[in-house]
Amino acid sequence: MHAELDQTTGEKMVLNFGPQHPATHGTLRIVLELDGESILKATPHAGYLHTGFEKLGEHLDYNQYIVVTDRMNYLSPLSNNFGYVLAVEQLLGIEVPKRCQYIRVLMAELSRLADHLLWLGTAALDLGAFSVFLYSFREREKLYSIFEKTTGARLTTSYTRVGGVLRDLYAGCEEDIRQFTTDFPKALRETHALLTRNRIWMDRTKGVGVISSEDAINYSLSGPCLRATGVQHDLRKAEPYSSYEEFTFEVPVGTNGDAYARYLVRMEEMIQSCHIVEQALDNLPTGPVNVVDNKISLPKKADAYGHIEGLIHHFKIIMDGHGIQPPRGEHYSATESPNGELGFYIVSDGSGTGYRIRIRPPSFFNFQALPHMLEGGMVSDTVAVLGSLNVIAGELDR
Amino acid sequence: MNEEQTALVLEKLKEKYGSSLLAHAEKPDGVIVVVNKENAYALLEYLKTDTEFAYTYLVDVTAVDNSQLESELERFDYARFIVVYHLYSYRGHPRVRVKVPVHERALRIQSVTSLWNGANWLERETYDMFGISFEGHPELRRILMPDDFDGHPLRKDYPLRGRGERESFNFERQNV
């Protein structure tokens, strides 16, 4: 009976998914060619959020561009701030003080937690688990309060500066973070209890959106999506930056590269990030948070208003054509952002603005591999697979 | 990464592709080789398939418009664009950056999609932003800009704002 029906119709249905769809969490679009409920072909379309961030980099000076980097990634802006200034500092050939490195690690790991929490909440919500969304957003809210107190903003953090950070941690920051790291494992256990052995959750995610480790490498996947396939690769271990070699943590890997494995990897990464945060607080060095170099770091306000040297240094850094001017050359620097390898390739012509700023966004590659994971599957899995990839449209389209 | 390994991959490339290498350097962020367009694909294929180096991971493909960088233009026979490939190896070898000069009179280069699936969108983006064609690409069309868009926004002669709208106001152009 079934075979007969297939022969009589033989027609494909084209289903348009997005750009405005509750499960896309941003503006992206997939065109699905369906045979009944199975997907024959999936064509992802990007570009709906294209903002010309790379072009802007050629017109803004090195500190101004930090503002652009956090708009690029609206789930973990701090790690983008971090990745960008690291590239500029390496281009300049400077190293920031130890305390600054630790604060950056601290903030990067907290933002990894915030990213994974938001991902967890929305991915579960897409599959109908509403309470997980509430639990994870409750925890994320605590993190955002810490971000707000530290940087002055919840989303548009712009916390790092070339050669340091905006300001030191606020008084009482350590207690706030310690409170969070104490409470968090319990909250995560609640989520585990809700999802990990949940029949519906397992049915929806296990064996869905599978990609092998060879294919994952061939598609240039990185981050949790790559590690879920069994490749133990983390830039924090492979090419340690900003003192990551001084921290002890595990790199969780999955085995079969399906949506469930990506879920488990992210869940374990949150625990590991918590450990890193605790270590950063335990061993937080004292000292300045900015490089002691008047050509790079802004002087204190009192100096800028009270002394002629301070005023001149302030003027030189701020004014167009005087500011931070890396030597002519180029540099590529990559960090392990919550979604994978976030690279900045900067070409400098020796002036105060970059000649070319190229961003290597992890989401671009994760979204590109989507057809590979969808084709041959069922249309209802689209939401589960897309959710498990955590595509950030702002970063995808730049 | 250690210095020995840096030297190793560069030595090997010099030995195999010595005549087609236009420049090379060892930098803190990896090995940089500039290779002519004719041998670029062969060199990339070698780096990927060689069992010792195994640069199986394509990090990035992009381009730089050198038209406002006089020294770079002179260095590479006035080639306006440089196509840049970033490679990564899981064997602990340093990152490799392969740069290929492309002249404006022949804006074409062989696609590497047959080596890496990940190159597909990267080459589409480079085409979209710079107008460089990748020969042998399965579907070379714009990715970030709309299909009917004119121009290539990351070229240096493309203004930050105003093209299109600005050109339709003739009186503004007379004032320039």
CA distance A55 to chain B (A): 6
* Mean per-residue pLDDT, A52-72: 89
Hey, is the C-beta of B176 within 8 angstroms of any chain A C-beta?
A: no
Chain A's closest residue to B60, CA to CA, is A360
Put simply, the answer to whether A355 touches B68 (Cβ < 8 Å) is: yes
Task: Look at residue A273 in the predicted model and tell me its pLDDT.
Answer: 93
**Which residues are within 8 A (CB) of B110 and not within 5 positions of it... i.e. 6 or more apart?**
B40, B41, B134, B135, B136
Query: From CA B131, how far away is CA B149, in angstroms rounded?
Result: 12
Put simply, the answer to whether A368 touches B143 (Cβ < 8 Å) is: no
- pLDDT tens digits along A204-232: 899 898 999 999 999 999 999 999 999 99
Task: Look at residue B16 in the predicted model and tell me its pLDDT.
Answer: 81
Q: Is the pLDDT assigned to residue A178 strictly greater than 80? A: yes
Chain A's closest residue to B88, CA to CA, is A220
Task: Look at residue B85 in the predicted model and tell me its pLDDT.
Answer: 94
Q: Which residue type, as a one-letter code, is found at position A258?
A: D
- pLDDT tens digits along A124-144: 998 888 899 999 999 999 999
Hey, is the C-beta of B155 within 8 angstroms of any chain A C-beta?
A: no
* 3 state DSSP class of A295: coil
Hey, is the C-beta of B131 within 8 angstroms of any chain A C-beta?
A: no
A136 within 8 A of A118, measured Cβ to Cβ: yes
Q: Is the pLDDT assigned to residue B176 strictly greater than 70? A: no
Put simply, the answer to whether B62 touches A215 (Cβ < 8 Å) is: no
Put simply, the answer to whether A360 touches B56 (Cβ < 8 Å) is: no
Closest CB from B90, B116, B142 relative to A220: B116
Residues of A in contact with B152 (CB under 8 A): none
Q: B158: which strand partners? A: none
Hey, is the C-beta of A278 within 8 angstroms of any chain B C-beta?
A: no
Give the residue from B29, B69, B99 with the most A CB atoms within 10 Å of its CB, the best one to mutate.
Answer: B29
Task: Look at residue B163 in the predicted model and tell me its pLDDT.
Answer: 56
* Cβ atoms within 10 Å, residue A43: 13
Helix (H) or strand (E) holding A368: helix A362-368
Give the residue from A89, A214, A215, A218 with the most B CB atoms within 10 Å of its CB, the best one to mutate.
Answer: A218
A31 within 8 A of A45, measured Cβ to Cβ: yes
Task: Look at residue B173 in the predicted model and tell me its pLDDT.
Answer: 40
Hey, is the C-beta of B160 within 8 angstroms of any chain A C-beta?
A: yes
Query: From CA B20, how far away is CA B6, in angstroms rounded?
Result: 20
Task: Look at residue B64 in the predicted model and tell me its pLDDT.
Answer: 92
CA distance B117 to chain A (A): 5
- pLDDT tens digits along A353-379: 889 999 999 999 999 999 999 888 888
Task: Look at residue B13 in the predicted model and tell me its pLDDT.
Answer: 83
Residues of B in contact with A365 (CB under 8 A): 118, 121
Hey, is the C-beta of A355 within 8 angstroms of any chain B C-beta?
A: yes
**Which residues are within 8 A (CB) of A86 and not within 5 positions of it... i.e. 6 or more apart?**
A241, A242, A333, A335, A344
Q: Is the pLDDT assigned to residue B175 strictly greater than 50? A: no
Closest CB from B71, B86, B120 relative to A332: B86
* Mean per-residue pLDDT, A153-181: 90
Task: Look at residue B174 in the predicted model and tell me its pLDDT.
Answer: 39
Query: From CA B131, how far away is CA B115, in angstroms rounded?
Result: 22
- pLDDT tens digits along A260-299: 999 999 999 999 999 999 999 999 999 888 888 888 888 8
| Mean residue pLDDT across chain B | 83
Put simply, the answer to whether B68 touches A349 (Cβ < 8 Å) is: yes
Task: Look at residue A10 in the predicted model and tell me its pLDDT.
Answer: 64
B98 within 8 A of B115, measured Cβ to Cβ: no
Of residues B176 and A34, the one with the higher pLDDT is A34
B84 within 8 A of B64, measured Cβ to Cβ: yes
Q: Is the pLDDT assigned to residue B167 strictly greater than 70? A: no
Query: From CA B31, how far away is CA B6, in angstroms rounded?
Result: 7
**Which residues are within 8 A (CB) of A208 and not within 5 positions of it... i.e. 6 or more apart?**
A258, A259, A260, A377, A381, A384, A385
* Mean per-residue pLDDT, A331-346: 92
Of residues B20 and B1, the one with the higher pLDDT is B20
Hey, is the C-beta of A56 within 8 angstroms of any chain B C-beta?
A: yes
**Which residues are within 8 A (CB) of A20 and not within 5 positions of it... i.e. 6 or more apart?**
A27
Q: Is the pLDDT assigned to residue B165 strictly greater than 60? A: no
Hey, is the C-beta of B8 within 8 angstroms of any chain A C-beta?
A: no
User: Where residue B17 falls among pLDDT bands split at 50, 70, 90?
Assistant: confident
CA distance B44 to chain A (A): 14
Task: Look at residue B119 in the predicted model and tell me its pLDDT.
Answer: 92
- pLDDT tens digits along B75-132: 888 888 999 999 998 888 889 999 999 988 888 999 999 999 999 999 999 999 999 9
Chain A's closest residue to B118, CA to CA, is A219
Put simply, the answer to whether B62 touches A345 (Cβ < 8 Å) is: yes
The interface residues of chain A toward chain B in range 232-271, judged by CB-CB distance below 8 A, are 233, 239
Task: Look at residue B169 in the predicted model and tell me its pLDDT.
Answer: 43
Put simply, the answer to whether B57 touches A217 (Cβ < 8 Å) is: yes
CA distance A356 to chain B (A): 7
Closest CB from A54, A59, A365 relative to B118: A365
Chain A's closest residue to B145, CA to CA, is A47
Closest CB from B29, B62, B144 relative to A358: B62
Peptide bond into A19 cis (omega under 30): yes
CA distance A222 to chain B (A): 9
Chain B's closest residue to A367, CA to CA, is B121
Q: Is the pLDDT assigned to residue A110 strictly greater than 90? A: yes
Q: Please state the separation of Cα A270 from the chain's center in Å.
A: 13
* Mean per-residue pLDDT, A104-112: 93
Query: From CA A11, how far away is CA A33, in angstroms rounded?
Result: 10
Q: Is the pLDDT assigned to residue A1 strictly greater than 60? A: no
Chain B's closest residue to A346, CA to CA, is B64
